[in-house]
Structure 1
Amino acid sequence: MQPPTRVLAPAPGPAPGPEPITADPRHEAKPALLTQSWLDLAFLHWAVDPADVAPLLPPGTVPDTHDGVTYAGLVAFRMHRVGWFRLPGIPYLGSFPETNVRLYSVDEHGRRGVVFRSLDASRLIPVAIGRWAFRIPYVWSKMGVRQDGDTLTYTSHRRWPGPRGARSALSVRVGERIERPTDLEHFLTARWGMHSSCFGRPLYLPNTHPRWPLHRAELLSYEEDLLAAAGLTRPPGDPVSVLYSPGVPVRFGSPPCIPAQRPAPARESSAAPTERSEP
């Protein structure tokens, strides 16, 4: 009696590389889950070591890098008229200042996105919905956006759930329109989805919007401890990139039906008399 021979399951294929960075959306967000506009955005970015932020990302993602470096972003703006499905945007509850701390991620399917470490917003009800319904780390803060000519000032002072008192205050002067953004500027702004987790499972939420109108911006002043409150070691020095955009309308789609995990590694079996690869 001959001993049983091994049956080899096919090895999983190689992981796809990250999708290309494109200035225009790679997909349509249909059906639309959320509609909103992002207005008067100031983008501040610091270069950070990928190894430092990898533990802060959700399962199934790794830091997305540009020339071996990843980035931590502080983005201040005005959220305008958030709407659900095909309902019109809500004037009061759906319009408020927001400041988020975000990281850059890529998942095992090659999809690039952002990971929000915190989102300070000035409306309590949207904060509660974001935290409890979508597991997004919204926090309630006292906030303001003031414009004086070509200068914008954004302030944020955290109320709940904490750490109480975490704050940011920054002022930028808007410069000339960027006709041809660099590869890095596209990398930092052209993001067509967010990575998160829901009840321990990976979640990818796609979005779409017109191409960013970007401007150079001069950082006049800033004080913040939101990065530290989000679990990041404060990068040394000033931001390496400061940009401004008047804004875009945005649509978020439903999560796509893509398996959360890759196939399991090949396993051995003794159930068949000859060696072959299973279909």
Structure 2
Amino acid sequence: MTPAPVEPVAAAAPPFRGPTMMTQDWKDAAFLHWAVDPAEVAPFLPPGVRPDVHEGVTYVGLIPFRMVGAGVSRGPSIPFFGTFLETNVRLYTVDGRGRRGIVFRSLDADRLAVVLGAQAAFGLPYRWARMSFRHADGELTYRATTIVGGHRSVVRIRPGAPVTDGLTTFLTARWGLHERHLGLGLYVPNVHEPWPLRTAELTAFDDELVAAAGFPQLAGRAPDLVHYSPGVSVRFGLPGGRPSPALPSPSPARGEPSHH
């Protein structure tokens, strides 16, 4: 069977007309990325997906951020539990239908109820962690320590100039999540406005999360790319659903953002 063509890389989301599972805002996101051989990533992917590559390499990402105002469907944000800190380690993937997405190796959050709910509902590898965030003197500091295992992460960045290029779009404009749960391959679509991205200087870094996620060879190695974004508003579709196919257009439509 001829493989389906891979959807194009686009900063704006394809049209999305399916039901909304949840809305949330991702704020103050730091993006740290390491270029790796696709063969290093392939063993960690669920059946049916393969590493997505850019100029012959794929990437491992460490992304700390603030989750703000998460709510069910299009309803209001959930008090207390809808706002928390998160740090995830993620990989970049494409499936047999040509849909680009991500696979999470770990997701750490400081709300135990969120961790347990996401594990039960979708089988996502969430872990409970002690976490903190500080924005002062032009720098943003993210700290995390997992409750089980005591894996630590300290990331401090100083945002710089705005940036837009093909590689940053490849890494951040991801319109779905690939996951396997209860023996089923899932694709969870999402839409949001284009990421407003800036370069960033890494002023402090001490991380054990990437190694714990299966990549000890990256321990002690500075990331190849560091970026910052003030954030986007996100809408998720139901698992198994998908955005309408992206059409070749100079100005593709995008999903409507949520507002909290």
Tell me the TM-score normalised to structure 2 length: 0.90
Which secondary structure state, in structure 2, belongs to the residue aligned with residue 88 of structure 1?
Answer: coil
Q: Which residue of 2 aligns with 1:185?
A: 168
Confirm whether residue 167 of structure 1 aligns to residue 152 of structure 2.
Answer: yes
Q: Distance in 1 between matches of 2:234 and 2:17?
A: 9
Q: Distance in 2 between matches of 1:68 and 1:16?
A: 20
Relative to structure 1, the CA distance from residue 257 to residue 67 in structure 2 (aligned partners, 3 Å threshold; closer, same or farther) is same
Q: Distance in 1 between matches of 2:154 and 2:206?
A: 5
CA contact (8 A) 1:98 1:119 kept: yes
Confirm whether residue 255 of structure 1 aligns to residue 243 of structure 2.
Answer: no
Q: Distance in 1 between matches of 2:13 and 2:144?
A: 31
What letter corresponds to residue 208 of structure 1 in structure 2? V
CA contact (8 A) 2:24 2:233 kept: yes
Shift of 1:232: 1.8
Which stretch shows the higher mean deviation, 227-236 or 85-94? 227-236
Q: Which residue of 1 aligns with 2:177?
A: 194
Equivalent position to 1:224, from 207, 211, 217: 207
Which secondary structure state, in structure 1, belongs to the residue aligned with residue 217 of structure 2?
Answer: coil
CA contact (8 A) 2:193 2:232 kept: yes
Relative to structure 1, the CA distance from residue 80 to residue 29 in structure 2 (aligned partners, 3 Å threshold; closer, same or farther) is farther
Q: Which residue of 1 aligns with 2:254?
A: none
Shift of 1:127: 0.5
Confirm whether residue 246 of structure 1 aligns to residue 230 of structure 2.
Answer: yes
Show CA shifts across 1:219-257 (max 9, x none): 001011111111123327311110000000100001345
Q: Which residue of 1 aligns with 2:94?
A: 106
Q: Which residue of 2 aligns with 1:214?
A: 197
Which stretch shows the higher mean deviation, 196-205 or 97-106? 196-205
CA contact (8 A) 1:29 1:251 kept: no
Q: CA RMSD in A?
A: 1.3
Q: Which residue of 1 aligns with 2:187?
A: 204
CA contact (8 A) 2:197 2:227 kept: yes
CA contact (8 A) 1:29 1:252 kept: no
What letter corresponds to residue 88 of structure 1 in structure 2? P
Which stretch shows the higher mean deviation, 23-32 or 140-149? 23-32
Matches within 5 A, 1:101-140: 101-140=89-128
Q: Which residue of 1 aligns with 2:67?
A: 79
What letter corresponds to residue 175 of structure 2 in structure 1? W
Show CA shifts across 1:113-139 (max 9, x none): 000000000000011000111101100
Q: Distance in 1 between matches of 2:90 and 2:227?
A: 15
Percent identical residues: 50
Indicate the structure (1 or 2) with the bigger Cα radius of gyration: 1
What letter corresponds to residue 192 of structure 2 in structure 1? H
Show CA shifts across 1:68-111 (max 9, x none): 10000000000001101122112311101100000000000000
Matches within 5 A, 1:146-161: 146-159=134-147
Show CA shifts across 1:176-215 (max 9, x none): 222xx11111111010011001112211000000011001
Matches within 5 A, 1:61-72: 61-72=49-60
CA contact (8 A) 1:29 1:206 kept: no
Q: Which residue of 2 aligns with 1:271?
A: none
Q: Distance in 1 between matches of 2:30 and 2:168?
A: 13
Aligned residue-pair number: 241
CA contact (8 A) 2:106 2:213 kept: yes
CA contact (8 A) 1:158 1:165 kept: yes
Stretches of structure 1 that go unaligned for 5 or more consecutive residues are 1-11, 259-279
